[in-house]
Amino acid sequence: MTSDVAAAKPGIPRNPDAETLDPFHGVDFSKLERSLHRPRTFMSMLWTVIVSAMTLFALIPLFSVLWLLVWRGGRKLSIAAFTQLPPAPLEQSGGFGNAIVGTLAICGMALLISLPIGLLSAIFLAQAKPDNRLASSVRFAGKVLTGFPSILAGVFAYGVVVMATGGYSALAGAVALSILMLPTILLTSEDAIRMVPERMKEAAIGMGATDTQTVWMVLLPAAVPRILTGVMLAIARGAGETAPLLFTALFSSYWLLWHGHVKLMQPTASLAVLIYNFAGMPFANQVELAWAAALVLVVMVLIANLIGQSLANRQVQ
Amino acid sequence: MPTAEIASQEPVSTNGKVDPSVVMDCNIENLYYGSFKAVRDTRIPVQKNAITAFIGPSGCGKSTVLRCMNRMNDLVRGFRLEGHVQFRGQDIYGPKIDPVAVRRFIGMVFQQPNPFATSVYNNVAFGLRLNNFKGNKAAKVEEALKSADLWDEVKDKLNESGLSLSGGQQQRLCIARAIATEPEVLLLDEPCSALDPVATRSIEELMKQLKARFAIAIVTHNLQQAQRVSDKTGFLYVDTSEGSRTGYLVEFGDSNQIFHDPKQKETQQYIKGEFS
Amino acid sequence: MPTETQISKPPSRTQAITDTAFRALCQGFTWLVAVIAVIIVLKIVLAALPAVRQYGLGFLSGQVWDPNKKLYSILPEIWGTLYSSVLALIFGTAFGVAAALFLAEGFTADAVFALLKIVNLQFHPFWGKLPVQVENLLSNLIELLAAIPSVVYGLWGLFVIIPLVRPACHWLHADLGWIPLFGTDLSGPGMLPAVIVLSIMILPTITAIGRGALLAVPTRLRMAAYGLGATRWEAIFAVTLPTASRGIFGGIVLAFGRALGETMALAMLVGNANVISVSLFSPANTLAALLANAFPEASPKDVGVLMYAATVLLVITLLVNVAGAYIVQFTASELEGEKV
Ligand SMILES: Nc1ncnc2c1ncn2[C@@H]1O[C@H](COP(=O)(O)OP(=O)(O)OP(=O)(O)O)[C@@H](O)[C@H]1O
Ligand SMILES: [Mg+2]
pLDDT at A24: 65
Looking from the CA of residue B65, the nearest atom of ligand 1 is 18
Phi, psi angle pair for B31, to nearest 5° = -135, 125
Instruction: Tell me whether residue B138 is in a domain.
Output: no
Q: Which amino acid is at A1?
A: M
A43 and C233 in contact by Cβ < 8 A?
A: yes
Residues 54-93 of C with CB under 8 A from A: none
* pLDDT score of B274 more than 70: no
Partners of A218 on chain B (C-beta within 8 Å) are 116
When CB atoms are compared, the residue of C3, C7, C10 closest to B133 is C7
- For C152, the closest of A143, A213, A297 (CB atoms) is A297
Taking residues C241-268, what's their average pLDDT? Answer: 90
Residue B153 lies in a domain: no
- What's the mean pLDDT when you consider all of chain B? 85
Residue C49 lies in a domain: no
Phi (first) and psi of residue A150, to 5 degrees:
-65, -30
Q: Structural domain boundaries of chain A?
A: 1-32, 77-316
Are A56 and C106 a contacting pair, CB within 8 Å?
A: no
Q: Answer whether B130 sits within 8 Å of A202, measured CB to CB.
A: no
Give the pLDDT confidence score for residue B8 in this predicted structure: 36
pLDDT of residue C231: 80
pLDDT tier, B14 (very low <50, low <70, confident <90, very high otherwise): very low
B137 occurs within a structural domain: no
Identify the band that residue A89 occupies on the pLDDT scale cut at 50, 70 and 90: confident
pLDDT score recorded for residue C335: 61
Query: Strand C71-72 vs strand C65-66: parallel, antiparallel, or unpaired?
Result: antiparallel
Top pLDDT among A195 and C185 is at A195
Asked if residue A225 lies in contact with residue A193, where contact means CB atoms within 8 angstroms, the answer is no
Atom of ligand 1 nearest to the CA of B67: 18
pLDDT value of position B5: 33
- Specify the pLDDT at position C110: 83
Provide the domain count of chain B. Answer: 1
- Confirm if A287 and A99 have CB atoms less than 8 A apart: no
Q: How confident is the model at residue C31 (pLDDT cuts 50, 70, 90)?
A: very high
| Distance of alpha carbon A242 from alpha carbon B232, whole angstroms | 73
Interchain pair A208, B77: CB under 8 A: no
Question: Which atom number of ligand 1 is nearest to the Cα of residue B56?
Answer: 21
User: Among candidates C306, C279, C302, which has minimal Cα distance to C292?
Assistant: C306
**Packing angle of the helix pair A39-68, C75-104 (nearest 10 deg):** 120
Probe site for chain C from B71, B102, B132 (most C CB atoms < 10 A): B132
Residue A4 has a pLDDT of 47
pLDDT band at C7 (very low <50, low <70, confident <90, very high): confident
* CATH number of the domain bearing residue B82: 3.40.50.300
Residue B43 lies in a domain: yes
pLDDT attached to residue B2: 37
- Compute the average pLDDT of residues A111-138: 94
- Pick among A32, A127, A155, A250 to test the C interface (most C CBs inside 10 A): A155
| pLDDT for residue B13 | 42
Q: Is B170 part of a structural domain of the chain?
A: no
Q: Are A299 and A219 in contact (CB under 8 A)?
A: no
Higher pLDDT, A257 or B181: B181
Using CA coordinates, name the residue in chain C closest to B134. C7
d(CA A298, CA C148): 6
Question: Hey, are the CB atoms on A203 and B174 less than 8 Å from each other?
Answer: yes
Spatial CA neighbour of A248 closest among A269, A234, A271, A276: A269
- Greater model confidence, A45 or A180: A180
Query: Looking at this protein, which amino acid is placed at residue A292?
Result: A
3-state SS record for chain A: CCCCHHHHCCCCCCCCCHHHHCCCCCCCHHHHCCCCCCHHHHHHHHHHHHHHHHHHHHHHHHHHHHHHHHHHHHHHCCHHHHHCCCCCCCCCCCCCHHHHHHHHHHHHHHHHHHHHHHHHHHHHHHHCCCCCHHHHHHHHHHHHHHCCCHHHHHHHHHHHHHHHHCCCCHHHHHHHHHHHHHHHHHHHHHHHHHHCCHHHHHHHHHCCCCHHHHHHHHHHHHHHHHHHHHHHHHHHHHHHCCHHHHCCCCCCCCCCEECCEECCCCCCCCHHHHHHHHHCCCCHHHHHHHHHHHHHHHHHHHHHHHHHHHHHHHHHC
Domain range enclosing B238: 6-114+183-275
Taking alpha carbons only, the member of B49, B16, C200, C38 closest to residue A54 is: C200
d(CA A81, CA A277): 16
Over chain A, what is the mean pLDDT? 86
Report the candidate in A212, A208, A204, A280 with the shortest Cα–Cα distance to residue A242: A280
Task: Assess whether pLDDT exceeds 70 at residue B114.
Answer: yes
Mean pLDDT of B16-35: 82
DSSP run (H or E) holding C65: strand C65-66
Q: How far is C74 from chain B (nearest CA, A)?
A: 53
Residue bearing the CA closest to ligand 1, atom 30: B59
C6-to-A278, A283, B122, C176 alpha-carbon distances in Å: 71, 79, 20, 92
Q: Which residues of A touch C240 (CB under 8 A)?
A: none
pLDDT over 50 (residue C75)? yes
pLDDT at A6: 43
Which residues of C lie inside 8 Å of B (Cβ-Cβ)? 1, 3, 5-12, 15-16, 19
**pLDDT at residue C3, rounded to an integer:** 44
pLDDT at position A158 is 92
- Report whether A151 contacts C261 (CB < 8 A): yes
DSSP E strands in B104-191: the ranges are 106-109, 185-189
Q: Where are the beta strands (DSSP E) in chain B?
A: 22-33, 36-47, 51-55, 79-87, 90-91, 106-109, 185-189, 215-219, 232-239, 246-254
Neighbours of ion ligand 2 (CB under 5 A): B 63
- pLDDT reading at A31 higher than 70: no
Which of C7, C11, C15 has the CB atom closest to B181's CB atom? C7
Q: Would the CB atoms of B182 and C8 count as touching at under 8 Å?
A: yes
Mutate to test the pocket of ligand 1, among B26, B28, B30, B33 (most ligand atoms within 8 A of CB): B33
pLDDT at A103 over 50: yes
Domain extent at residue C163: 75-339
B128 neighbourhood in chain A, CB within 8 Å: none
| Continuous H helices in C119-240 | 130-147, 150-156, 162-176, 191-215, 219-227, 232-235
By CA distance, what is B183's nearest residue in C?
C8
d(CA C77, CA C260): 11
* Mean pLDDT of the region C86-98: 95
Number of structural domains (chain C) is 1
Give me the CATH topology for the region A77-316: MetI-like fold (1.10.3720)
Ligand 1 contacts (CB < 6 A) are B 33, 36, 38, 58-64, 76, 221, 245
CA-CA distance, C253 to B10, in Å (whole number)? 68
pLDDT, tens digit, 9 for 90 and up, residues B179-211: 898 888 999 998 888 778 888 888 898 889 888
Atom of ligand 1 nearest to the CA of B60: 21
Rounded (10°) angle between helices A170-195 and C13-55: 130
Overall average pLDDT of the C278-304 stretch: 88
Lowest mean pLDDT among A106-120, B156-170, C61-75: C61-75
Asked whether residue B236 carries a pLDDT value surpassing 80, the answer given is: yes
The answer to whether position C28 is within a domain reads no
Say which ligand is closest to the CA of B247. Answer: 1
Q: Name which residue leads in pLDDT, C184 or B233.
A: B233
| In contact, B87 and B185? CB cutoff 8 Å | yes
Q: What is the mean pLDDT of residues B76-95?
A: 88
What's the C338 CA to ligand 2 centre distance in angstroms?
26
User: Looking at this predicted complex, what is its ipTM?
Assistant: 0.87
* pLDDT for residue A99 is more than 80: yes
The CATH number linked to C128 is 1.10.3720.10
Distance from CA of B104 to the nearest CA of A (A): 5
Instruction: Report chain A residues whose CB lies below 8 A from the CB of B115.
Output: 200, 203
In contact, B47 and B231? CB cutoff 8 Å: yes
Distance from CA of B36 to the nearest CA of C (A): 21
Least CA distance to C297: which residue of chain A?
A247
Tell me if B41 is assigned to some domain: yes
pLDDT tier, C333 (very low <50, low <70, confident <90, very high otherwise): low
Average pLDDT of chain C, as a whole number:
87
pLDDT at residue number C105? 86
B112 contacts on A by Cβ (under 8 Å): 199
Q: How far is the CA of B188 from the centre of ligand 2 (A)?
A: 10
